Structure 1
Amino acid sequence: MEKPKPDDRSNNAERIENNIGHTLQNMNEARDFEKAHAEELSQEDKQQIEEKNQRRERAIEGMREEIKDEVNDQQNNS
């Protein structure tokens, strides 16, 4: 039986920052798409895009809290 790999948390903050960047990029792309195709999109489609971006915003808030936790954990374990 293989031993589990040790938990390497050294790059967690960096990984989370990358995820935030990708999420922000997706939000901007969704807004650009909505603007570019506003006349073609149904009200339901627009609402779905806006709701998804709201979920993305909440996810970003959570990820920022995770970064704070990671930084605090790294400082406490240094």
Structure 2
Amino acid sequence: MKAKPDNRDDNVEKLQEAVQNTIGNLRESEDYLEEFGDEIGNHEQQDIESKNERRKQSIQGLREEIKDEAQAEQQRDS
């Protein structure tokens, strides 16, 4: 069985989509906390806040990866 060739043509687009999805999840959970923060337990609130911190770190990492991929794409096209 032969490995698929490495096709990076749409990596930047896929990464940008991942950023948008993660931002959407972050906003949804922030809205949830704003609306129901007083009604949920402290443990659940801490879990959501922890997830949001990981989401923010993920977004930062994905944006760095987008920059790297965009530079690599330019070099391939040169």
TM-score, normalised relative to structure 2 = 0.92
Match of 2:45 in 1: 46
1:31 is matched with: 30
Unaligned runs of 5+ in 2: none
Q: 1:12 corresponds to which letter in structure 2? A: N
Q: Output one character per residue of 1:26-63: Cα deviation in whole Å (capped at 9) or x when no partner.
A: 00110111112122111221111111101000000000
What letter is aligned with 2:70? V
**Deviant stretches of 4+, over 4 Å:** none
**Is 2:61 the counterpart of 1:62?**
yes
- Cα deviation for residue 64 of structure 1 reads 0.4
Q: Secondary structure at the match of 1:9?
A: coil
SS at match of 2:51: helix
- Worse-superposed segment, 33-42 or 51-60: 33-42
Structure 1: any 5+ residue segments left out of the alignment? Answer: none
Q: Which residue of 1 aligns with 2:20?
A: 21
Q: Distance in 1 between matches of 2:37 and 2:58?
A: 25
Q: How many residues align?
A: 77
RMSD across aligned positions (CA): 0.9
Matched AA of 1:47 = Q
Letter matched to residue 61 of structure 1: Q
Q: Which amino acid aligns with 1:7?
A: D
Q: Percent identity?
A: 38
